[in-house]
Amino acid sequence: MTVRVVPLRAGSCLNLAAITERGAPWRVQAYPAGFTLILHPTRGPVLFDTGYGADVVTAMRRWPGLIYGLITPVQFGPHDSAREQLRVLGFPPEEVRHVIVSHLHADHVGGLRDFPHATFHLDRRAWEPLRALRGVRAVRRAFMPELLPDDFEDRCAWLDFTEAGDALHPFAEVADVFGDGLLRAVPLPGHAPGMVGLLAQEGAGLTVLAADAAWSVRAGREERPVHPLARVAFHDPALEATSGAALRAFLHANPAARLHVSHDAPEGWT
């Protein structure tokens, strides 16, 4: 058995290219808010994140969400949501029973409320440091608690990490999301607490969904550091650098693996 990975995007954000990669020009660039539809042989349509959603736009119209919109301007149209894109592909929201959440930044959880029957799979370490934050303190961490369903915590299935073994070196931990080896989560913390990537076993081989461990596919494979200003926003800059190095080392050891990151066009996407 294998899965099929379908990369999609739900809106985009604007940032300066020089912030996301040191040495790039100081010009405004649009970055997709990527999410992934994963067609699983027994679990049906599974999502890895949701990108932005209409609730993000609403939250940015009032305080303190205004701060988020000023720092990270969002482009989002009425048909850009994960829910609407899945409808077009033939998957109504009630069929989505599982959303794997890489981390809790607004551009990754903006559509969670659109999937009322889904279980949320994430690292408990992503939730614990943020769960009590509200107002400006939350927005400073790119976290908008109003984007989460009211029963969010009740619907969480915390990822169960075990020792990864030599085959996944340098990753020390792995969580087999459904226990079938098709979707395995690996820790990539630093950009945000408890952030995870996903190793998806497709028919053509391994696909690595690396969330925000890099701003571009090129930076995921090669060391291309962000501008120091960007590191101010990281939860733990030193840990972010360690996770980036682990991702590059894993890809070097698995050169045939395809790489998707959240804010760049994925490898092999036509």
Q: In this predicted model, what pLDDT tens digit does every residue of 23-59 receive, in sequence order?
A: 788 898 999 999 999 999 999 999 999 999 999 999 9
User: What was the pLDDT predicted at 229?
Assistant: 73
- 21-52 burial by CB neighbour count: b if 16+ within 10 A, else e? beebeeeebebbbbbbbbbbeebebbbbbbbb
pLDDT computed for residue 270 by the predictor: 42
Residue 254 CB neighbour total at 10 angstroms: 16
pTM higher than 0.85: yes
Provide CB contacts within 8 A for 21, sequence distance 6+: 215, 216, 219, 224, 225, 226, 227
Calculate the CA 218 to chain-centre distance. 17
- pLDDT above 70 covers a percentage of the chain that reads 99
**Tens digit of pLDDT for each residue in 222-270?**
988 887 777 777 889 999 999 999 999 999 999 999 999 999 987 765 4
For the segment(s) 4-260, the CATH number from 3.60.15.10, 3.40.50.720, 3.40.50.12160, 3.40.190.10 is 3.60.15.10
Domain ranges of the chain: 4-260
- Is the confidence at residue 180, as pLDDT, over 70? yes
Distance, CA of 220 to CA of 159 (rounded, Å): 24
